[in-house]
Structure 1
Amino acid sequence: MMTSFSQNTIEKLGYYVYVYSDPDTHKPFYVGKGKGNRVFDHLFYQDDSEKVAYIQRLIQGGKEPLIEILVHGVDEETALKVEAAAIDLIGIENLTNRQRGYHSAEYGKIEVSLLESRYNCEQIKLEDFNENAVLIRINQLYRNDMTVYELYETTRGFWRINPEQIKKVKYALAVYYGMVLEVYEIAAWFPAFSTMTQRYIPDTEQCRNRYEFVGNIAPESVRKKFRDKSVASLFPQGAQNPIRYIIADEGNAQETYAEDKM
């Protein structure tokens, strides 16, 4: 079994993206990126990961994984993006990778009309609001292949909010890198994980002072006003807090900020 490259090869490779596949079916089970002899490191790992277990099963059966270089001679940033694209194309559920690739939510697989909306959408300004709303930024949680239900579940919780401020709010806008993906009409807010959910429930201490809402898709007139449009200007540059309240007072909207981070 080959376990290293020659120095001459290493000098030519630069950064690369590699794929581990089953030798019989050629079905990929792991995608990674690196340089030097990084591609061979997995052959020597002894941890309890699914990837290591797969490789060990092959070796114990007298086989070895098929190792292929998908692309080479690129810089690290490019390798990271190619790795993410490969994982998205194959599907994380079909691999032993524990997480999606670098900036997969931002640069990964996406339907073309959504991509156009992201980069060429109408800008919503503060004065355009005459509804009380909460903007919920889900940059770190969103996936391009989310179902309607998954997007709702991701948006509705679990947040540190101002209980008094939120009482005034009628609509919740799911915001991904400035673009409004969906608008929900809020029925009520509850303590985190007190309503039915399929999401993972963390330690109860982490749930303290966090809340979730239940609701429905907003009326079409409200959705049409905000959906697929940008509210990026309402999040100050460098702002870490995912929550922004928009309180409209007789047509004059006021923007207020939550103090707690996600």
Structure 2
Amino acid sequence: MSASAKFSTKVQSDLGSYVYLYIDPRNDKLFYVGKGRANRCFAHLRTDDGSEKAKILRELHATGKKPQIEILRYGLTDDEASLVESCVIDLLDLEKLTNKVRGKHWRRGPRGSVEDIRVTLEARPVTITDPVILINIAQLYRPGMSAPELYDSTRHAWKVNPDRHPAKHALAIHGGIVREVYQIACWFPAGTTYRTNDQHGERRHDADPTRFEFVGHLAEPEIRKRYLHKSVERYFKPGAQNPIKYIKC
């Protein structure tokens, strides 16, 4: 996250007042809690007030690292944000944070990285014109997960019929938004292919003849640009339990 990072005007409007967190990537520890509007969460990247917070930021900069910035709650009033900030500081113990003072004093928008929040609020509806399979990875998704983790969470393992619905691309869906787009090379019985995090080619023990997994790669740029970070929420009925949805197949 660069010092010049900022939210678009639309995202700023949708965020309202929010509470944000600074996390040290060296140990995954929270070291600062703040509240604000617009681009307040990025302001600390450009200032050095001699505080403990600034000291940690200098150390990170010296090693080529950046703090992980997360939005804890958004869509709040100023008073609600002040209350949330104060409660978080009290709960986590002020001495363990770099905040100089306690906050001035529920949930609208869920916690997520600033990039994830940006994607969520900027997502625009898209009309799918290609034969694809939408895969809602639900609880398997988490903000900041690596590309290999997202790939494995998307491709494995689903109750599908590859012969009946020959989709060319798979869209990883979370929260009604396309998180990644893959081109499907081939489907295999679940548990019969190696995952990307297999270090020594160990034999897997999660084979399931009733499910399938695909092997593939990132979609070609044109297709990926068409769907990545777009909203496909309208393709899923409210309360739908099936994580799989075929479009144009």
TM bucket (normalised to shorter chain) is 0.5 to 0.7
Q: How does 1:1-150 map to 2 (within 5 A)?
A: 107-110=110-113, 112-125=114-127, 128-129=128-129, 131-150=130-149
Q: Look at both structures and tell me which one has the larger radius of gyration over its CA atoms.
A: 1
Which residue number corresponds to residue 224 of structure 1?
A: 225
CA distance, structure 2, for counterparts of residue 231 and residue 82 of structure 1: 34
CA distance, structure 1, for counterparts of residue 234 and residue 123 of structure 2: 13
The residue type paired with residue 176 of structure 1 is H
Q: How many residues align?
A: 148
Contact 2:194–2:204 (CA under 8 A) maintained in structure 1: no
Partner SS, residue 157 of structure 2:
strand
Instruction: Give the deviation of 1:107 after TM superposition.
Output: 2.5
Which residue number corresponds to residue 187 of structure 1?
A: 185
Instruction: Give the deviation of 1:138 after TM superposition.
Output: 0.9
Contact 2:192–2:204 (CA under 8 A) maintained in structure 1: no
Q: How does 1:158-169 map to 2 (within 5 A)?
A: 158-166=157-165, 168-169=166-167
Q: 1:107 to 1:245 in 2, by over 3 A?
A: same
Which residue number corresponds to residue 238 of structure 2?
A: 237
Instruction: Give the deviation of 1:202 after TM superposition.
Output: 6.1
Contact 1:108–1:144 (CA under 8 A) maintained in structure 2: no
Instruction: Give the deviation of 1:193 after TM superposition.
Output: 0.9
1:174 equivalenced with 2:172 (yes/no): yes
Instruction: Give the deviation of 1:203 after TM superposition.
Output: 5.6
CA distance, structure 2, for counterparts of residue 82 and residue 161 of structure 1: 44
CA distance, structure 2, for counterparts of residue 119 and residue 165 of structure 1: 36
Contact 1:188–1:215 (CA under 8 A) maintained in structure 2: yes
Which residue number corresponds to residue 11 of structure 1?
A: none
Contact 1:172–1:184 (CA under 8 A) maintained in structure 2: yes
Which residue number corresponds to residue 255 of structure 1?
A: none
TM-score by length of 1: 0.50
The residue type paired with residue 179 of structure 1 is I
CA distance, structure 2, for counterparts of residue 179 and residue 170 of structure 1: 19
The residue type paired with residue 114 of structure 1 is D
Q: Output the aligned Cα RMSD.
A: 3.4
Instruction: Give the deviation of 1:113 after TM superposition.
Output: 3.1
CA distance, structure 2, for counterparts of residue 179 and residue 165 of structure 1: 26
Partner SS, residue 164 of structure 1:
coil
Instruction: Give the deviation of 1:162 after TM superposition.
Output: 2.2
Q: 1:208 to 1:160 in 2, by over 3 A?
A: same
Structure 1 alignment gaps of length 5 or more: 1-26, 29-73, 91-102, 249-262
Q: Give per-residue Cα distances to partners, 1:2-49, cap 9 Å, x unaligned.
A: xxxxxxxxxxxxxxxxxxxxxxxxx99xxxxxxxxxxxxxxxxxxxxx
Contact 2:137–2:172 (CA under 8 A) maintained in structure 1: yes
Q: 1:225 to 1:201 in 2, by over 3 A?
A: same
Partner SS, residue 115 of structure 2:
helix
CA distance, structure 2, for counterparts of residue 151 and residue 174 of structure 1: 8
Contact 1:178–1:230 (CA under 8 A) maintained in structure 2: yes
Q: 1:120 to 1:109 in 2, by over 3 A?
A: closer
The residue type paired with residue 107 of structure 1 is P
